[in-house]
Amino acid sequence: MKHYIKGGKRPKNNLNKQLPKPMTIFVNKVLPVILLLVAGFYFIPYASMNFQNNDVDHINKNNEAVMFYSSTCSHCQKVYPKIFWHNVLNLKNAGKQIQTINVQNPNNKHYIREFAVQETPTFMKPNNPDMKLVSTDVKQINNFAETGASDQ
């Protein structure tokens, strides 16, 4: 038997308090995280395409290939997200990276003359600037990056 001290607070019965329903938890907690991840998956490459690679000071000879692109080119917009995620997946392996250079930016215009870039996207082997590929086909790009062969 419990004895209560006069003037002391009695514990309240918490039976009236309801637990949140599983659907409420999902909608309020889980769904926003999923939406942010999905939105990030689609929008991060496009943000990178427009705001990164604007002042590239040199061609990295350790990279597997170089991609010259223009952020307003529809073909480049098609292939850039694939290259972006390829680079993210190979972040710790410079030999598998594809360096991206936005030739639309005034700081990078000299690459157009230097490497005779006539179309975008143009892929080039960093150790052999004469080996080039103009394509949006991911299989062709992967084959070119790995072997230097272009199946055009």
> Strand, coil or helix: what is 131?
strand
> Strand, coil or helix: what is 58?
coil
Q: What separation, in Å, do the N-terminal and C-terminal C-alpha atoms of the chain show?
A: 90
Averaged pLDDT, 43-48: 78
Rounded CA Rg of the chain: 27
Q: Are 104 and 76 in contact (CB under 8 A)?
A: no
Candidates 46, 55, 47, 137; CA nearest to 102 is 55
Of 22-31, 59-68, 90-99, the range with the lowest mean pLDDT is: 22-31
**Residue percentage of the chain with pLDDT more than 70:** 82
Q: Output the furthest CA–CA distance in the chain (Å, rounded).
A: 93
